Amino acid sequence: MKITDAKVFVGGPGKNYVTLKIMTDQGVYGLGDATLNNRETLPAAYLTDYLIPSLIGMDPRRSEDIWQFFYRGAYFRRGPIAMAAIGAIDMALWDIKAKLAGMPLYQLLGGKSRDSALVYAHAAGADLEDLIASIEGYVAQGYKAVRVQCGVPGMPTASYATPDIKGGTAPFITDFSGIRPKTEIWDTEKYLRFMPAALAEIRARFGPELKILHDVHHRLLPREAAAFAREVEPLGLFWLEDPTPAEDQDALKLIRQHSTTPIAIGEVFNAIWDCNKLIENELIDFIRVAVTYAGGITHVRRIVDLAGQHHVRTGFHGAPSHSPISMAAQAHLNIWAPNFGIQEYLVLGTPACDALFPSDHHVTNGLQYISDAPGLGVDFNETEAARYQYQPGSHPVVRLEDGTLWNY
């Protein structure tokens, strides 16, 4: 069996999804997602210029050897661009393998460990009242877990992932007005004075059952993060995410020494080597990698297994930039992983998105139910794809009030 061709598409409804389609001499094809938010043309070029020419002619069933070939063979290993490209190939090969077996992918991983997988939605408000209304909306839809982000009084701009005005909708992270980033202003002291009390009000308002998550988005220093985690400890958060940038894995020790608030980290990691110390030293509770830029199912499964040895559960990244293909790959891992925790899930199911990526994976009452179709269980409509093209966009950058550049 041989790979005969592979094509890359960039575009989608309001997103720049990078979709890989691998064709074989037996008519079976596989799909992968290489979307790297706001750098989409780069994994696309890495695939087209460097990987696909070697891929053609290979036996698609040898997914392990193909992964090793592209990872070890590159010499310059890792990094989000290369790992997103390798990840897309890997997803597509597992799609092919499961289609050949006539089974949904989760059966090849070891079968179902649960009937459905818990997901969380994103609630956001320009202020606390606005945020509470947003949470109420998700609770009314049956969500059991909600990430809560709130505008901070006195902060000169909106905070991370919050609307500019009351009643507004939180912007999708990407600003499509061009490549040049807008600036958000950040003030740690204002945030630290406001956010723990806001979380306490949310807990009091919604009671003990709601699973409350909060994303600090890398903005605090380790000592500040430790103090924050300790202060909110009585609120029983489901998790506190990215309290501090994780380039320094040792920084997480300080947080752990001062608090039992569960810590989630890893959406920007590309490899097991970014989180092995965090996991082995049991400094985190949830690992947030994504099958896209952490090298696909083959590599993420290794991270999940390492995590499982150390009481670390999964909480895969599911920002809106992930296409239904990687969300499907994660759905299969979620239904299998013995150490599954939660899945970030933002409503993908707009009519335009469903038309581009038909599937019957679905979320009801805050629970994700998996498709039993062979493979990943998601398709790609090339006629629909022809309607879209790449649109340049960017993340904001963050500065302190005096102009110092900070972590977005």
Q: Which residues bind ligand GCO (CB under 6 A)?
A: 37, 173, 215, 217, 267, 317, 319, 321, 344, 395
Our answer to whether residue 122 is catalytic in this structure is no
User: Among Mg ion, ligand GCO, none, what binds residue 184 when CB lies within 5 to 8 Å by partner kind?
Assistant: none
- Our CB check for ligand GCO shows the closer of 117 and 373 to be 117
Structure tokens at 88: 């897309």
User: Among Mg ion, ligand GCO, none, what binds residue 319 when CB lies within 5 to 8 Å by partner kind?
Assistant: ligand GCO
Structure tokens at 275: 């989180």
Residue 161 beta carbon to ligand GCO: minimum distance, rounded to whole angstroms: 6
Beta strands in 106-233 (DSSP E): 117-125, 145-150, 183-186, 211-215
Q: C-alpha dihedral over 259, 262, 267, 268, to 10 degrees? A: 20
User: Among ligand GCO, Mg ion, none, what binds residue 42 when CB lies within 5 to 8 Å by partner kind?
Assistant: none
Residue 75 beta carbon to ligand GCO: minimum distance, rounded to whole angstroms: 28
Residue 319 beta carbon to ligand GCO: minimum distance, rounded to whole angstroms: 3
Distance in angstroms between the alpha carbons of the first and the last residue of the chain: 46
Catalytic residue (choose from 122, 214, 217, 299)? 217
Catalytic residue (choose from 17, 120, 143, 160)? 160
| Phi, psi angles (nearest 5°) of residue 101 | -75, -15
What residues are paired with 36 via a beta bridge?
A: none
135: nearest Cα among 120, 118, 115: 120
How big is the chain by its Cα radius of gyration, in Å?
Answer: 21
| Phi, psi angles (nearest 5°) of residue 291 | -65, -25
- Our CB check for Mg ion shows the closer of 104 and 266 to be 266
Residue 326 beta carbon to ligand GCO: minimum distance, rounded to whole angstroms: 12
Please give the Cα distance from 408 to 37 (Å, whole number). 14
Counting Cβ atoms within 10 Å, is residue 106 exposed (0-12), middle (13-18) or buried (19+)?
buried
> What are the CA-CA distances from residue 295 to residues 16, 34, 68, 69, 401 (Å)?
19, 10, 11, 13, 38
Residue 267 beta carbon to Mg ion: minimum distance, rounded to whole angstroms: 5
Is-contact 166 205, C-beta < 8 A?
no
What residues are paired with 147 via a beta bridge?
A: 122, 213
User: Among ligand GCO, Mg ion, none, what binds residue 322 when CB lies within 5 to 8 Å by partner kind?
Assistant: none
- Our CB check for ligand GCO shows the closer of 121 and 337 to be 121
- Our CB check for ligand GCO shows the closer of 222 and 318 to be 318
Our answer to whether residue 217 is catalytic in this structure is yes
What residues are paired with 394 via a beta bridge?
A: 175
User: Among ligand GCO, Mg ion, none, what binds residue 330 when CB lies within 5 to 8 Å by partner kind?
Assistant: none
User: Among Mg ion, ligand GCO, none, what binds residue 173 when CB lies within 5 to 8 Å by partner kind?
Assistant: ligand GCO
Please give the Cα distance from 244 to 80 (Å, whole number). 20
* DSSP three-state, residue 69: helix
Which residues inside 187-226 make contact with Mg ion, applying CB under 5 A?
A: 215
For position 90 contacting Mg ion by CB under 5 A, the verdict is: no
Please give the Cα distance from 225 to 258 (Å, whole number). 10
Residue 246 beta carbon to ligand GCO: minimum distance, rounded to whole angstroms: 12
Which residues in this chain contact Mg ion in the complex, by CB under 5 A? Answer: 215
Residues with active-site annotation: 160, 217
